[in-house]
Amino acid sequence: MTGPLSNHTTFKLGGEPKLWLVLNKLEDIPMALTQVKQDGLNWQVLGGGSNTVFVGGETNLAIFKMMLKGREVVEDSGDYTLIKVAAGEDWDELVAWTTTQDLVGIESLSLIPGTVGATPVQNVGAYGQEVSQTIKEVAVYDVVNSEFKILTNNECGFGYRDSLFKCQPGRYIITSVTYALKKSEPLLATKTRAEVISLRQSKLLDPKVVPNVGSFFKNPIVSKEVGERLKEKYPEMVAHTVDEEKVKLSAGWLIEQAGLKGYKKGAFTVSSKHALILTHDGDGTASDLLSVIVTVIDRVKEQFSVQLEPEPVLIQ
Ligand SMILES: Cc1cc2nc3c(=O)[nH]c(=O)nc-3n(C[C@H](O)[C@H](O)[C@H](O)COP(=O)(O)OP(=O)(O)OC[C@H]3O[C@@H](n4cnc5c(N)ncnc54)[C@H](O)[C@@H]3O)c2cc1C
């Protein structure tokens, strides 16, 4: 594996890292960590590069390219099928396979790019499903204690686009994920998958054609009082109840209302198709990107007093 990170990420940004190390088997993990320690390098695990944006720092960076492969049905009880999948497997290929087996639980997460190992990191979600709803356990290498271990679903600290892995970057390298999927009536999962694919293809931008990372900002979660105050002022505002105390606002709606749909700086544009998507049309600079991010966050804060947060992992 070689070349600039722009060739290995869907945002197509990033220079040449100092070192590429490919993780093909479990033993490669402690070996790679020993090597970067000896060489005094920072390191970063990379799956499919669809949620990572490199904005500098590559010159002292080693990339651990996750290539662990394999899929195994570990238990097939009457109600549930437990499937253990290696971190380097392609996520959408897994979803496609499970739907052909009439298993439900992840079919609404169809067509999300990337690897299996990255799905627990931001607790991937779409159309009412979150991957944490079906994860039984996550196998990891614990970098601090230098040991392989298993984390139960509870131990993963899942939240909205959040997890222990996102909160403690560099602590765990995920080696496999075990999903518990339910048996369903024939063709139900396949039908949902087809509907989701058609919806996504009409709404989202294909990163192979237009470099992007999907949603660039998380939908902000605010208190019910803040949500009600905003709703009074902006009755058409999009808001969903999270629980008795919190509501989730639509970051895309806030960005659009702040007048930023189509906003452009250098090679970066707030998509005029969907304000939550930032596109990169090649040769962009880190400083232009950071300027767009700050502009979006500041303008939304100014108008709505709501704080936006980027969704992808920014490496600087
Ligand atoms: C067009 C498009 C649509 C998208 N739609 C959605 C959506 O609907 N819902 C959603 O939630 N996301 C969505 N995403 C974001 C992205 O696809 C997911 O977050 C995906 O899970 C990222 O997988 P990846 O392998 O590409 O991760 P990468 O970008 O390679 O990595 C993301 C982060 O996870 C870490 N990581 C990756 N693998 C491991 C591992 N094995 N161990 C430890 N850390 C690891 C990386 O270090 C990095 O911090 C979309 C992206 C695009 C481009």
Give the integer Cα–Cα distance in Å for 177 and 137. 6
> Which tokens is 307 given?
């704080």
pLDDT by residue (tens digit) across 33-46?
999 999 999 999 99
Judgement on whether residues 9 and 84 belong to the same structural domain of the protein: no
Q: What is the DSSP string of 229-259?
A: HHHHH-TT--EEE-SSSEEEE-HHHHHHHTT
What pLDDT, on the 0 to 100 scale, is given for residue 2?
87
178 occurs within a structural domain: yes
Judgement on whether residues 167 and 231 belong to the same structural domain of the protein: no
209 occurs within a structural domain: no
Judgement on whether residues 61 and 83 belong to the same structural domain of the protein: no
Task: Return the SS3 of 153.
Answer: coil
Q: Which of 36, 66, 96 represents a domain boundary (last residue)?
A: 66
Q: Ligand 1: does its nearest atom lie under 6 Å from the Cβ of 211?
A: no
61-66 vs 42-46, strand pairing mode: parallel
CB neighbours of 59 closer than 8 A, spacing ≥ 6? 15, 17, 18
Give the integer Cα–Cα distance in Å for 212 and 245. 33
Mean pLDDT value across the chain: 96
Q: 235 CA to middle of ligand 1, Å?
A: 34
Residue minimizing CA distance to atom 2 of ligand 1: 214
Residue 19, domain CATH: 3.30.43.10
103-104 vs 172-183, strand pairing mode: antiparallel
* Residues counted in the chain: 316
Judgement on whether residues 230 and 280 belong to the same structural domain of the protein: yes
Task: Return the SS3 of 274.
Answer: coil
> What's the mean pLDDT in 71-88?
94
Q: Which of 203, 232, 266 represents a domain boundary (last residue)?
A: 203
What pLDDT, on the 0 to 100 scale, is given for residue 48?
97
Judgement on whether residues 287 and 172 belong to the same structural domain of the protein: no
pLDDT by residue (tens digit) across 120-177?
999 999 999 999 999 999 999 999 999 999 999 999 999 999 999 999 999 999 999 9
212 occurs within a structural domain: no
214 occurs within a structural domain: no
What do you get for the CA distance between the two ends of the chain, in Å?
A: 21
How many domains would you assign to the chain? 3
Name which of 61, 68, 174, 180 is nearest 118 in CA terms. 174
What pLDDT, on the 0 to 100 scale, is given for residue 124?
97
CB neighbours of 93 closer than 8 A, spacing ≥ 6? none
Residue 89, domain CATH: 3.30.465.10
> What's the mean pLDDT in 214-227?
96
Cβ contact 9:54 at 8 Å: yes
Residue 190 in this model has a pLDDT that exceeds 80: yes
Cβ neighbours, 10 Å, residue 150: 13
Q: Ligand 1: does its nearest atom lie under 6 Å from the Cβ of 45?
A: yes
208 occurs within a structural domain: no
Judgement on whether residues 94 and 185 belong to the same structural domain of the protein: yes
Give the integer Cα–Cα distance in Å for 192 and 248. 25
Judgement on whether residues 107 and 176 belong to the same structural domain of the protein: yes
Q: How confident is the model at residue 106 (pLDDT cuts 50, 70, 90)?
A: very high
132 occurs within a structural domain: yes
Tell me the catalytic residues: 161, 215, 311
**Which atom, in ligand 1's list, is nearest to the CA of 131?**
11
- Say how many CA atoms lie within 13 Å of 148 toward its Cβ: 9
Judgement on whether residues 225 and 289 belong to the same structural domain of the protein: yes
Give the integer Cα–Cα distance in Å for 69 and 138. 15
Q: How far is CA 55 from the centre of its chain?
A: 17
Q: What is the DSSP string of 56-98?
A: S-GGGEEEEEE----EEEEEE-SSEEEEEEETTSBHHHHHHHH
Q: Which of 49, 66, 83 represents a domain boundary (last residue)?
A: 66
Q: What range does the domain containing 284 cover?
A: 221-315
Residue 253, domain CATH: 3.90.78.10
311 occurs within a structural domain: yes
Judgement on whether residues 177 and 194 belong to the same structural domain of the protein: yes
Q: How confident is the model at residue 89 (pLDDT cuts 50, 70, 90)?
A: very high
Q: What is the DSSP string of 154-165?
A: GGG--BTTB-HH
Q: Ligand 1: does its nearest atom lie under 6 Å from the Cβ of 117?
A: yes
Residue minimizing CA distance to atom 17 of ligand 1: 113
Judgement on whether residues 56 and 144 belong to the same structural domain of the protein: no
213 occurs within a structural domain: no
The answer for 28, left when phi > 0, alpha when psi is -120 to 50, beta otherwise, is: alpha
Torsions phi, psi for 101 (to 5 deg): -90, 5
Least confident of 71-80, 136-145, 151-160, 188-197: 71-80
Least confident of 63-67, 238-242, 247-251, 266-270: 238-242
Q: Ligand 1: does its nearest atom lie under 6 Å from the Cβ of 176?
A: no
Task: Return the SS3 of 99.
Answer: helix
Judgement on whether residues 243 and 120 belong to the same structural domain of the protein: no
